[in-house]
Amino acid sequence: MTARIVVAAPASGHGKTSVATGLLAAFAARGLVVSPHKVGPDYIDPGYHALAAGRPGRTLDPWLVGEERLVPLFKHAAATPAPADLAVIEGVMGLYDGAAGRGEFASTAHVARVLAAPVLLVVDSTAMGRSVAALVKGFAGFDDRIRVGGVILNRVGSDRHEMILRQALEELGLPVLGAIRRHDALATPSRHLGLVPAAERAQDAVDVVRGLGAVVAESVDLDAVLALARSAPDLPGPAWSPDDEIAALRGSEPGPGPRPVIALAGGAAFTFSYAETAELLTAAGADVVTVDPRTDEALPVGAGGLVIGGGFPEIYAEELSANRPLRIAVAAQAKAGAPIVAECAGLLYLARSLDDREMCGVLDTDARMTGRLTLGYREATAMSDSILAPAGETVRGHEFHRTVCSPGHGATPAWEWTGPDGRRLREGFAEGRVHASYLHLHWASRPGAALRLAEAARAHTPHAAHPRAGRDREVRA
């Protein structure tokens, strides 16, 4: 059994990420092996979690992967690369906020219930006195299937303020497990309703994570938090396994020949990637090699396929455009028929231009930043056969961007879905072996995509090129 705790709050902005990251760092400093998790589709918070825990931050999103995969994916993450002593699961928005119009579905409470995990409620107590008890009582009693086991008071103003808050909560019989003062120096800059990715902040992010760990260790009763986490019961069933997923689809071992190389975009401009993507591609027989489109001037030796996830390429448009050798190499790969899957930022990179800066020119579209944020869950139908899905199949994904492409889709759109206004929208590009769209998917729900991509990359890789030659980039296991 893995001890586990869900860090939740009444709403966004109460300090969940700071507390969850600080708990991970504080327990890791004690010598515990900690497993970081995030409810929802977010890529950014897991980056800070990973710095604190020393292992990938993982998302748990019922919309993207299905409720039935939450426990198996949690067990896999808690055991990879080594069994964890404690899992810290950061919630999303307010405790009971889920997918719009679907009740508790995809909320923090939903995930806490499925994982049978106790909840630690973080409350921003700024300008609050005895009313904190009314707030906490409402959240603790709203759904009797959710166990709120303790409270952390955040942004406490003074000793007297803390005393007033603690006295109010004593009336509820719910323990206060920590009181954290205001620490403006540990604030993290935001962008588009989220933090600036840790990969963009380098040493600053490391320093903030270390500082959060120190503050939490000083301000929170870590022994009490660990005891609460250890009160979680055993979870039934096996862990999710990328090898088992691929084996169930393959039916036979791949034929002889070298393992195909699949390049995975990384670096500061492309930080949005779920760890399970690389794991599934590896299980499907590929060597996954990270390439940084800002600095690497060539694709990995023998590359037969390319995956370009999300991120903030608009911040680095000048550098991406200046790296002409790689842009030419990517365009050549597409022209030669190599399989390429691009999501959001990857779509922009494959466009003719981004904010008037030249990109790869694979797609007949131009991208630009806007003042409008597009975000939300989507249920989309594939418009044609592709690596990601056969025509007519329905998938679940999410959008998160401030850019638009003109045109928004090609002659063969990637997807069709119903927009918030009820209109059917077509989006993305499915041209040859290139699939590019704003839609983010979680491949744990679509392991066949990894297998099809690996097999297409194997077929495209010239037999004379051995992918293990001349590696000078990180290989993702």
For 289-319, what is each residue's pLDDT tens digit? 999 999 999 999 999 999 999 998 888 999 9
Task: Calculate mean pLDDT across residues 54-67.
Answer: 96
Tens digits of residue pLDDT in 324-358: 999 999 999 999 999 999 999 999 999 999 999 99
Q: Is the link from the previous residue into 293 a cis peptide, with omega within 30 of 0?
A: no
pLDDT tens per residue, range 203-250: 677 888 899 999 999 999 999 999 999 999 999 999 999 999 999 998
Helix axes 275-283, 447-460, angle to 10 degrees: 60
Rounded average pLDDT over 151-155: 97
Residue with structure tokens 């550098």?
A: 319
State residue 252's pLDDT score. Answer: 65
Joined together, the tokens standing for residue 265 give 């975009």
Q: How many other CB atoms are there within 10 angstroms of residue 126's CB atom?
A: 12
CATH 3.40.50.880 domain locations along the chain: 242-476
> Alpha carbon of 203 to those of 133, 267, 285, 352: distances in Å?
39, 15, 35, 34
The runs of H, that is alpha helices, within 198-355 are 198-201, 203-219, 222-230, 242-250, 275-283, 317-322, 324-335, 345-350
User: What is the reported pLDDT for 182?
Assistant: 86
Q: What percent of the chain has pLDDT over 90?
A: 80
Q: What is the pLDDT of residue 421?
A: 80
- The reported pLDDT for the residue numbered 188 is 55
pTM for this predicted structure: 0.92
Question: In this predicted structure, what is the pLDDT of residue 463?
Answer: 53
Structure confidence at residue 371 (pLDDT): 87
255: pLDDT strictly greater than 70: no
Closest C-alpha to 444, from 238, 263, 242? 242
Q: How confident is the model at residue 187 (pLDDT cuts 50, 70, 90)?
A: low
Mean pLDDT of the chain: 91
The answer to whether residue 442 scores a pLDDT higher than 50 is yes
Residue 474 has pLDDT above 80, yes or no: no
Token pair in block for residue 203: 């040493």
Query: Bigger pLDDT: 343 or 198?
Result: 343
List the structure tokens of 267: 């670096």
* Residue 476 pLDDT greater than 60, yes or no: no
What is the 8-class DSSP label of residue 28? H
Residue 193 predicted with pLDDT over 60: no
Report, as residue numbers or ranges, the catalytic residues.
344
Determine which of 4-18, 67-81, 256-270 has the lowest per-residue pLDDT on average. 256-270
Of the pLDDT bands very low, low, confident and very high (cuts 50, 70, 90), residue 472 is very low
Residue 394 has pLDDT above 70, yes or no: yes
The predicted structure's pLDDT at residue 191: 40
Q: Residue 186: what pLDDT?
A: 56
pLDDT at 425: 93
Mean pLDDT is lowest, of 62-71, 176-185, 370-379, for 176-185
User: Could you tell me the pLDDT band of residue 80, with boundaries at 50, 70 and 90?
Assistant: very high
We find that the CATH architecture of domain 3-230 is 3-Layer(aba) Sandwich (3.40)
CATH architecture of 242-476: 3-Layer(aba) Sandwich (3.40)
Name the token pair of 182: 């205001």
Question: What's the CA angle centered on 197, arms 196 and 201, to 5 degrees?
Answer: 85
Residues of the chain with CATH 3.40.50.300: 3-230
Residue 344: name the closest of 378, 393, 318 by CA.
378
Question: Are 115 and 235 spatial neighbours (Cβ–Cβ below 8 Å)?
Answer: yes
pLDDT above 90 (res 194): no
Interval 413-423 mean pLDDT: 89
- Is the model more confident about 183 or about 249? 249
